[in-house]
């Protein structure tokens, strides 16, 4: 490794000239000068002759094929927005504002008529990542995917899974609620 950390830089800070270095990741070039495009560590890579800026706390990136856990942030007519909190098998969390969308056609192997019957805002969902660029797309088709913790629409307590009826039950309010329930419902330890 011939990389050496020069210093911490802020976006827009001049880091060198294009005669000395190539403009690498996290930088941009303008009129012969190279500038930092983000906060981070400035690195001059002697092998590639690149000047680049690496983020200070590299976050875990979501990749296609990953299995993620997140909570339902917003429900629209044909899709829900899920805030991704964790990738299965990866102990470190993801950046707080990573969101993915789940389209109504990707909810279940069966036809989904109305997302209101499948998810409530706040529910914790296990989903797989089907696309990361330009936006993260998710799917909950398959038995192990879907809601792993659902909250009561009345009292907001976590609901119990009634396997026999394939629905959720609130012991507090004595009401039932439908969801796209994962076969892992109630079996996964979550921090929230």
Closest contact distance (angstroms) between CB of 159 and Zn ion is: 7
Q: Which long-range contacts (CB under 8 A, 24 or more apart) does 91-98 make?
A: 92/60, 93/60, 94/59, 94/60, 94/61, 94/62, 94/68, 95/59, 95/60, 98/62, 98/136
Task: Say whether residue 168 binds Zn ion (CB under 5 A).
Answer: no
Closest contact distance (angstroms) between CB of 152 and Zn ion is: 3
The site string for Zn ion over 141-160 (x = CB under 5 A, - otherwise) reads: -----------x-xx-----
Cβ-based neighbours of 70, under 8 Å, separated by 6 or more: 82, 83, 84, 85, 86, 99, 100, 124, 125, 127
Closest contact distance (angstroms) between CB of 154 and Zn ion is: 4
Q: Of 87, 17, 18, 28, nearest to 52 (Cα)?
A: 28
Task: Using the minimum distance from each CB to Zn ion, give the nearer residue, 129 or 152.
Answer: 152
Instruction: Pick one of 173, 178, 183, 188: the residue that binds Zn ion (CB under 5 A).
Output: 173
Query: Dihedral, CA atoms, 67, 68, 72, 77, nearest 10 degrees?
Result: -40
Instruction: Pick one of 17, 131, 144, 172: the residue that binds Zn ion (CB under 5 A).
Output: 172
Instruction: Pick one of 72, 84, 170, 181: the residue that binds Zn ion (CB under 5 A).
Output: 170
The site string for Zn ion over 103-142 (x = CB under 5 A, - otherwise) reads: ----------------------------------------
Cβ-based neighbours of 91, under 8 Å, separated by 6 or more: none
- Determine the interface stretch with Zn ion among 21-29, 80-88, 107-115, 173-181 (rule: CB under 5 A): 173-181
Give residues in contact with Zn ion (CB under 5 A): 152, 154-155, 170, 172-173
């Amino acid at each position: 490794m011939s990389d050496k950390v020069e210093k911490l830089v802020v976006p827009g800070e001049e880091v060198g000239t294009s005669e000395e270095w190539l403009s690498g990741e996290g930088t941009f070039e303008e009129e012969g000068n190279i500038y930092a495009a983000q906060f981070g560590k400035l690195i001059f890579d002697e092998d590639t002759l690149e000047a680049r800026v690496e983020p200070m706390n590299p976050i875990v990136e979501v990749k296609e094929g990953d299995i993620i856990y997140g909570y339902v942030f917003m429900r629209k007519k044909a899709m829900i927005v899920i805030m991704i909190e964790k990738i299965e098998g990866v102990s470190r969390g993801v950046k707080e504002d990573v969101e993915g969308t789940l389209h109504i056609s990707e909810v279940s192997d069966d036809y989904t008529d109305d997302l209101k019957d499948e998810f409530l805002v706040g529910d914790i969902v296990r989903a797989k990542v089907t696309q990361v660029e330009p936006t993260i797309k998710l799917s909950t088709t398959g038995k192990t995917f879907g809601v792993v913790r659902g909250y009561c629409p009345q009292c907001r307590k976590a609901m119990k899974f009634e396997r026999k009826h394939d629905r959720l039950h609130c012991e507090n309010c004595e009401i039932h609620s439908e969801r796209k329930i994962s076969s892992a419902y109630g079996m996964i330890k979550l921090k929230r």
